[in-house]
Amino acid sequence: MQIPSYCRGCGAPLQSQDPSRPGYIPPGIMGRENLRCRRCYRILHYGQRDEGGGSREDHLAAIRRGIREAGLVVMVFDLVDFEGSWSEEINSLVGTKPLLAVLNKSDLLPRQVKPEEAEIWAGNRLQELGREPVAVIPVSSTRGWGIKRLLGGISAQLGNMGKAVLVGATNVGKSSLLNALERRAGEGVQRKGQGHKLSPVLTTSPYPGTTQDLVRVDLPTAGCLLIDTPGLSQPGRLSDILCPDCSRRLIPAGELSRKTYKVSPGQTLLFGGLARYTIVAGAPRPILIAFAAREVVFHVTNRERVDHILTNHSGEWLVPPCKGCRVQEWEEKALTAQEGQDIVVPGLGWVTVRRGPVELEVAVPKGVKVKVRPALIRPRD
């Protein structure tokens, strides 16, 4: 029986029958070594977004297989989108297996935030969500911060020659993290149990759904094998309902944009044309601190001007969205936030209440969640 070949970048089984399915390559090159599928090739060489990904059911099945095979689950979070990274579906699949939480993109927080502060904050959040991790480790896969500590944490949990599986939502940076781990402790990449060694570079992109199936990376100097899994899109996350280009603009490419506003009842803080925070009542002139990617335009205006601004300027100077992603149907959510709390729109950003309490109406596109949590970034007095 012929052993099937797998894409070295995303793990999809290679095939030449259906260009619309994952793993497609032209028939003439089937059988060569170290192949990438057409989708990965286009992402790597042309920066193109290809929609030929697998279904959510396919991805869930792959995650389930990976968790079953491994002795340790490494759940990867995007620290600047923690609420959008938490997956109830993946959490339920983990069951009672030990879980190590990785806080990727920790370098995007303001520099005065210490890693140990983020570690304690995330550990508390996970406990509130019903999960007790064996460790919480902040890292930056792009800068290499925390990678040595993470390898040590994985080895300490697994012992010699164990297996760990990386799981997480789309765009948390799992494949980039795995590449960083491989550079530190590996010798090559394996696919689907094949014995030969391949290049260590996995396909990464700012678009969701790049990894399609299980990808195995041997880390001999750490004495373990890591299994990468497809990312899972999250219901209620704003970035998942936009076009790929708008979604990419919501992913910070550098340190978060941060602006402080003193607002009064009747005023609205706009996050581009994608969310609006309207002050209803509360402390005299509440102080709000807005956090988002640098491509998100913040704007404060009077409540009565909001509809005019959104109608005439959303998709122009008030971005994101692009004109094609302009919000057609809004949902308003009334809530109260205390001083020292964040009001989060997963996949977009958040507002920290610096002086409160404050009563707000938060409007977001239909189906998008809004959450209140303890502040991630505590102000320095």
Tell me if 5 is assigned to some domain.
no
Same domain, 292 and 370: yes
- 362 or 112, which is more confident: 362
Confidence band for 111, pLDDT divided at 50, 70 and 90: confident
* Predicted local confidence at residue 195, as pLDDT: 42
- Residue 118 shares a structural domain with residue 246: no
Same domain for 221 and 179, yes or no, is yes
List the structure tokens of 123: 């550990």
* One domain, residues 329 and 205: no
Provide the pLDDT for residue 64: 94
- Asked if 328 and 348 sit in the same domain, the reply is yes
192 within domain boundaries:
yes
Categorize the per-residue pLDDT at 187 as very low, low, confident or very high, splitting at 50, 70 and 90: low
**Quick one: pLDDT at residue 44?**
66
**Top-confidence range, 241-255, 333-347, 367-381:** 333-347
Q: Average pLDDT of 109-124?
A: 93
Tokens linked to 298: 């913040």
Inform me whether the pLDDT recorded for 1 exceeds 50. Answer: no
Percent of the chain, pLDDT > 70?
86
Same domain, 35 and 60: yes
196 lies in some domain: yes
Indicate which CATH number applies to the domain containing 172: 3.40.50.300
**Mean pLDDT comparison of 21-25, 197-201, 355-359, highest-scoring range:** 355-359
Give the phi and the psi of residue 60 in degrees, each rounded to 5.
-60, -40
Could you tell me if 325 and 279 lie in one domain? yes
- Which range is least confidently modeled, 115-129, 151-165, 264-278? 151-165
> Does the pLDDT value for residue 317 go beyond 90?
yes
Of the candidates 369, 376, 377, 206, the one whose C-alpha atom is nearest the C-alpha of residue 295 is 206
User: 32 or 372: whose pLDDT is higher?
Assistant: 372
User: Helices 147-158 and 174-185 meet at what angle, rounded to 10?
Assistant: 80
pLDDT of amino acid 31: 67
What is the mean pLDDT of the segment spanning 10-21? 78
Compute, in degrees rounded to 10, the torsion defined by CA atoms 86, 134, 156, 186: 0
Domain boundary, last residue among 182, 205, 228: 228
Q: Does a structural domain hold residue 21?
A: no
| Structural domain includes residue 64 | yes
Average the pLDDT over 243-248 and give the result: 91
Mean pLDDT within 192-201: 42
Q: How far apart are CA 168 and CA 157, in angstroms?
A: 19
**Mean pLDDT, residues 298-326 taken together:** 96
Last residue of a domain, one of 228, 263, 282: 228
CA–CA distance, 342 with 199 (Å, rounded to integer): 42
What pLDDT shows up at residue 200? 41
Q: Is 94 helix (H, G, I), strand (E, B) or coil?
A: helix
Using CA atoms of 50, 52, 56, 60 in order, give the dihedral in degrees to the nearest 10: -100
Q: Which pLDDT score is estimated for 190?
A: 43
Domain presence at residue 101: yes
Supply the mean pLDDT for the chain: 87
Question: 255: domain range?
Answer: 240-374
* Within-domain flag for 380: no
What's the average model confidence in pLDDT over 314-332?
Answer: 96
Same domain, yes or no: 164 and 310: no
Q: How confident is the model at residue 191, as a pLDDT?
A: 43
For 31-40, 272-281, 324-333, which range has the lowest pLDDT when averaged over its residues?
31-40
State the total domains in the chain: 2
Please indicate, yes or no, whether residues 183 and 268 belong to a single structural domain of this protein: no
Q: What sign has the CA pseudo-torsion 208, 214, 218, 219?
A: positive
How far apart (Å, rounded) are the C-alpha atoms in residues 11 and 191? 7
pLDDT in the model for residue 216: 83
pLDDT digits (tens, 9 = 90+) for 230-242: 989 899 999 999 9
Residues 14-20, mean pLDDT to the nearest whole number = 82
Pair 71, 158 in one domain? yes
Q: What is the pLDDT of residues 53-93, one digit of tens each?
A: 568 888 899 999 999 999 999 999 999 999 999 999 999 99
Instruction: Indicate if 121 and 214 belong to the same structural domain.
Output: yes
Mean pLDDT of 331-348: 97
pLDDT surpassing 50 at residue 196: no
Return d(Cα 219, Cα 189) in angstroms, integer. 9
Residue 157: inside a domain = yes
Q: Which of 152-161, 210-219, 265-274, 368-377 has the lowest mean pLDDT?
A: 210-219
Q: Are residues 57 and 135 in the same domain?
A: yes
Average pLDDT over residues 118-131: 96
Residue from 377, 213, 246, 260 nearest 318 by CA = 246
Question: Predicted confidence band at 304 (pLDDT cuts at 50, 70, 90)?
Answer: very high
Contacts of 255 (CB under 8 A, 6+ apart): 107, 108, 109, 110, 111
Contact 74, 221 (CB under 8 A): no
Choose one of 228, 253, 272: the last residue of a domain.
Answer: 228
